[in-house]
Chain A
C-alpha cells in the first residue's frame, strides 16, 4: 500500500506541477511558422515544391524578384535595375549590385552569377529529376537548353544570351529556384554539377554548403520533418530591410486542424495557410488574425475530355457552364474566400481578360441541351477521395453539389472516385475520365504557365491525352506569343489565345480560391501574396514587456 500511495502522490505532484508552471513568456524575437509540409532540399536549383521555395526565398535572392504582395510586379533585387533586352530579344544585360557578400563571405559579382547560370545550363542527367523548373523554363539542358551563354562583361555586368526568344524570361527569373548561391558553397556542397548522386550532394541535403545566399536570413539548421531554422543576417546589404526577427523556425504540420490548434495555444505564431472552414474559428478568437492575401493565384476547373460524348459537343459544354451555380459553391465550400473564375487563369496573371464566361442560368442550359441534338446525357464524373487542394477544399462536397446542379438540368451523372496518388492523377492524365475535378496553382504569373503548361498546350506536337482538345490555331498563337520580342506583340497573341479558348470552352473554370494565412494578433508587418512570395524580414512581433 505504501508503494501505491507514494506512486500516486508522485504522479499527482508531477502532473500538477507541470500543469501549473504555465506557458513561459512568449519570445518576441523568434517567429515560429507552421508550413503544410517539410522542405525537400536545401538547394534552390534542386527544388520544385512550395515549402522549400518558401524557406529558400528568405535566404537566397535572385537577380530579379517580385514586389512584396504582388504575383507579377517584377523588381530588381541583386540587379540594380530590370535587364535591358537586345532588339532581337535574345540578349539580356543585367547590371549588378556592388558590395554584396554571400553569407559565407564570398563576394557577389558577375563571376558568381555566371557560375550559377552555367550550373542551370549543365544540370547533369542524374539530377534533372530534381530541377523541374530549370528544365521547364529553359526547355532542357546542355545543347537542348534555351540558355546559350552567360558571360561577365565586367565585374558587375552580366549578359545572358538565349537561343530562341522567350517573352517570359524575366518573369520566370523571379522564381526562388533561380536564386543566386555562393559558388564557394556550391563547390563545398558538391552542388557544382560534379556529383550526380543526389544523396551525396550535401548542399542539397542540409549539410555542408547548404543554402548560402545573400538574403536577410542565414540558413542555420534543418531537422528533417521537424524544423528548419534560419537566423538574421546582421550584415544584409539592404540596410533598410535588415530583419527585425532574430530567428524564424519553420515547422511542418500537415493537418489543417493541428495548425489552427497550435496557433491558438501559442505553439505557432504564423500559419502559412488555413482551410476555409477555419476562417470563422480564427475570426472568433480575439488573439488571432486571419490574413487575406488579396488576390488568387490558382484556378479550379470542371475538366472534360473531348473523346467522350456528350462533353465532346461544344453546346453541351456551354450548357454545363450555365448549369453550375459558382457563387453558391464559393459561399458553401470556400467560406466566401474565392472569386468566380473569369478565365482559365487568375486575373492577376499577365494579359488576363475577363472572358465573360456563362453565369448560372439553368433555363439557358436546358435550351442548349435541347438544341445540341445529344440524346444520351450520361456523364462519367470523377473526384479524388483522399485529398484537399488549395483550390479545392472539399472535393467530395463540391462533386456532390456540382452533380446535383447538372442533374437538375437533365444530365445523368455516374459518380466515380479514386485516390489522388493511387490512380486519380495518372488516370485523368492518361485520358481515362470523361469529366473530373482538378485545378492548378501558378508557378509564375505568365499566361503560358496556365493556358499552355497546365492545360491546353500540345504534348509532342499533338493534343494532350488529358483533354484531347484539338485547336491548332491556339497552339500556334501560344507558341508565337512566347516567341514575341515585344510586350505589345505578346499581349496581342495571348489575347487571341484566350479568345480562341473561350470560343471552344474546352473545360469549365469555376473559381479562383484565396487561401488565407493566420497569425497571432501580435504578428505585424506580414505582407501576404497569393504567390506565396512573402518576405519575413518585414515581420516583427509586437509583444509588450519582452
Chain B
C-alpha cells in the first residue's frame, strides 16, 4: 500500500509540471496585461512600461516561466500584482469558505442522490423512476450559474426566504478565527449566528450540488439495478432473507464501488463549479477570488490557485483509490 501511494505521488509530479507549463502559456495568451487593472485611467505608455519592468513582465517568456517555476518549487507561490498580498496567506483566508461550500454541496448531493437513486432502482420504469430520472437529466443539463441565479431570484429576492449573498450577515460583525464559520459561530457560543450561516449556505449548496446530485442519482440507480440482478442477490432472497438485509448487506455493499468513484471525481468538478457559484452568491471563497484575478490579469494568483486545485484534485482521487481497498477486499495495491 505504501509503495502504491508513493508511486502515485511521484506520478503526480510530471502531471503538475505539465499543467504549470500549459497554464503559464494559456494565461499569457489572454489579451491585455495587469497594467490597466493597476493604473486605471491614470496609466500612460511610460508608467505601464515601468510597471511591467517592476513586475518582471518585460522578460522573455521562457525566463518568466523559469522564474515562476523556481519560485513555486521553493514554496513561494508569489504575490498578487494588484495589491501585493502574498498568495498563501490570501488563499488560506478564502479556502475555508470554498471548503464549507463544497462540503455543503456534497452533503446535498450525496444525502439526496443516493436515496433517490435507490428509490428509482426499486421499481424500474415506475413513476418514481421516471420522475427521478427526469429530474437528474434536468440537473445535469442546467448550468450552475443559471440555476444559482434562478434560486437567488426565486427564494431570495421574490420570496425573501433565504439570503443570497455572502456567508454571514455582515451586521453581526462576526470575526472568524479559523475561517470555518460553521465551527466558529458555535465556538463563540452563538447558535443564532450558526443558523444564519446555515441559511446562507443552503442556496449556494443546492446550486453547486445540482450536477453531482444528478450524476450520483443516476450512477446509484444503475449500480443498484445491476447488482440486484446478480445471482448472489437472488440466492440471498431465495434463502428467505429479509428485503432490508439483502439491500444493505448484499446490494448496497457492492453498489457502493462505482458510486464512490463518481463522488471522488465530483469533488474536482465541485471546485470548478465553485468558481461560478461563489460569483453568483458573492461568496468569499477561492473561486470568486480567481475570477477577480482573471479579470485583473493577476498572473501569480491565477497560476497558483489552479495549481493548488489540481494538486487537491489529484490527492482526492488518490484517497478514493485507497478507499476502494477498504470497500472491496478483492482490490489490493
Residues of chain A at the chain B interface (Cβ within 8 Å): 1-4, 7-8, 11, 14-15, 17-19, 21, 23-24, 26-27, 30, 32, 40-41, 48-49, 126, 129, 132, 136, 198-199, 205, 221, 223-227, 229, 247, 249, 251, 253-255, 258, 261-262, 264-265, 267-268, 419-423, 425-426, 429-430, 440-441, 454, 459, 465
Give Cα A7–Cα B40 distance, bound, in whole angstroms: 52
The interface-forming segment of B190-198, B229-237, B253-261, B304-312 is B190-198
**Contacts beyond the supplied A129-B51, A199-B84, A249-B171: 18 A-B pairs with Cβ under 8 Å:** A18-B162, A18-B199, A24-B169, A32-B170, A32-B171, A48-B39, A129-B50, A132-B42, A223-B284, A262-B165, A262-B282, A265-B164, A267-B169, A267-B170, A421-B32, A422-B32, A429-B45, A440-B41
- Assess whether B161 is interfacial by the CB under 8 Å rule: yes
Provide a sorted-by-A list of 30 A–B residue pairs whose CB atoms are within 8 angstroms.
A4-B118, A7-B111, A7-B112, A18-B162, A18-B198, A41-B83, A48-B40, A129-B47, A129-B51, A199-B79, A199-B85, A225-B289, A226-B284, A249-B170, A249-B171, A255-B282, A261-B156, A262-B164, A265-B160, A419-B31, A419-B32, A421-B32, A422-B30, A422-B31, A426-B36, A429-B43, A430-B45, A441-B41, A459-B44, A465-B45
Residues 184-205 of B, flagged 1 when their CB comes within 8 A of A and 0 if not, give 0000000010011011001000
Q: Total interface residues on B, using CB and 8 Å? A: 62
Residues of chain A within 8 A of B47, CB atoms compared? 129
B124 to chain A, nearest CB (A): 16
Looking at B41, B94, B152, B162, which has the most chain A CB atoms within 10 Å of its CB? B41
Query: Which of A4, A23, A24, A265 has a CB less than 8 Å from the CB of B119?
Result: A4
With A24-B196, A422-B30 already in contact, the answer to whether A265 and B163 are too (CB < 8 A) is yes
Q: Is the CB of B173 within 8 A of A3?
A: no
Q: Is the CB of A18 within 8 A of B202?
A: yes
Residues of chain B at the chain A interface (Cβ within 8 Å): 30-32, 36-45, 47-48, 50-51, 54, 79, 82-86, 90, 93-94, 108, 111-112, 115, 118-119, 152, 156-157, 160-166, 169-171, 173, 175, 192, 195-196, 198-199, 202, 244, 282, 284, 288-289, 292, 295, 297
Q: Is the CB of B45 within 8 A of A205?
A: no
Query: Which of A4, A23, A227 has a CB less than 8 Å from the CB of B115?
Result: A4
With A24-B196, A249-B173 already in contact, the answer to whether A1 and B244 are too (CB < 8 A) is yes
**6 nearest A-B pairs in the assembled complex, by CB-CB distance:** A422-B32, A422-B31, A4-B115, A226-B284, A27-B171, A421-B32
Residues of chain A within 8 A of B196, CB atoms compared? 24
Give Cα A23–Cα B22 distance, bound, in whole angstroms: 47
Q: Is the CB of B165 within 8 A of A421?
A: no
Q: Is the CB of A3 within 8 A of B44?
A: no
Q: Is the CB of B175 within 8 A of A221?
A: yes
Give Cα A251–Cα B83 distance, bound, in whole angstroms: 17
With A48-B42, A221-B175, A267-B163 already in contact, the answer to whether A421 and B36 are too (CB < 8 A) is yes
B174 to chain A, nearest CB (A): 10
Q: Is the CB of A225 within 8 A of B45?
A: no
Q: Is the CB of A205 within 8 A of B170?
A: no
Q: Is the CB of A14 within 8 A of B156?
A: no
Query: Which of A132, A258, A423, A459 has a CB less than 8 Å from the CB of B282?
Result: A258
Give Cα A26–Cα B172 distance, bound, in whole angstroms: 10
B86 to chain A, nearest CB (A): 7
Residues of chain B within 8 A of A425, CB atoms compared? 36, 43
Residues of chain B within 8 A of A225, CB atoms compared? 94, 284, 288-289, 292
With A3-B115, A4-B115 already in contact, the answer to whether A19 and B161 are too (CB < 8 A) is yes
Residues of chain B within 8 A of A255, CB atoms compared? 282
Q: Is the CB of B44 within 8 A of A429?
A: yes
Q: Is the CB of B282 within 8 A of A26?
A: no
With A7-B115, A15-B202 already in contact, the answer to whether A205 and B85 are too (CB < 8 A) is yes
Looking at B156, B192, B282, which has the most chain A CB atoms within 10 Å of its CB? B282
Residues of chain A within 8 A of B195, CB atoms compared? 17-18, 21
Q: Which residue of A has the minimal Cβ distance to B166?
A: A267
Q: Is the CB of B42 within 8 A of A224?
A: no
Looking at A26, A32, A198, A426, which has the most chain B CB atoms within 10 Å of its CB? A426
Residues of chain A within 8 A of B51, CB atoms compared? 129
Q: Which residue of A has the minimal Cβ distance to B198?
A: A18
Give Cα A136–Cα B44 distance, bound, in whole angstroms: 12
With A11-B112, A264-B157 already in contact, the answer to whether A253 and B165 are too (CB < 8 A) is yes
Give Cα A40–Cα B82 distance, bound, in whole angstroms: 8
Give Cα A249–Cα B173 distance, bound, in whole angstroms: 8
Residues of chain B within 8 A of A7, CB atoms compared? 111-112, 115
Query: Which of B40, B118, B164, B169 has a CB less than 8 Å from the CB of A261?
Result: B164
Q: Is the CB of A267 within 8 A of B44?
A: no
Residues of chain A within 8 A of B79, CB atoms compared? 199
Residues of chain A within 8 A of B37, CB atoms compared? 421
Q: Is the CB of A205 within 8 A of B84?
A: yes
Q: Is the CB of A129 within 8 A of B54?
A: yes
Q: Is the CB of B284 within 8 A of A423?
A: no
Q: Is the CB of B157 within 8 A of A261?
A: yes
A150 to chain B, nearest CB (A): 25
Residues of chain A within 8 A of B83, CB atoms compared? 40-41, 205, 224
Q: Which residue of B has the minimal Cβ distance to A132?
A: B42
Query: Which of B160, B169, B173 has a CB less than 8 Å from the CB of A229?
Result: B173
Query: Which of A129, A247, A430 has a CB less than 8 Å from the CB of B38?
Result: A129
With A7-B111, A199-B79, A261-B165 already in contact, the answer to whether A21 and B199 are too (CB < 8 A) is yes
Give Cα A430–Cα B173 distance, bound, in whole angstroms: 47
Residues of chain A within 8 A of B288, CB atoms compared? 225
B245 to chain A, nearest CB (A): 12
Give Cα A26–Cα B163 distance, bound, in whole angstroms: 14
Residues of chain A within 8 A of B173, CB atoms compared? 30, 229, 247, 249
Give Cα A384–Cα B41 distance, bound, in whole angstroms: 14
Residues of chain A within 8 A of B85, CB atoms compared? 199, 205, 224
Q: Which residue of B has the minimal Cβ distance to A453?
A: B42
Give Cα A251–Cα B36 distance, bound, in whole angstroms: 23
Q: Which residue of B has the minimal Cβ distance to A439?
A: B41
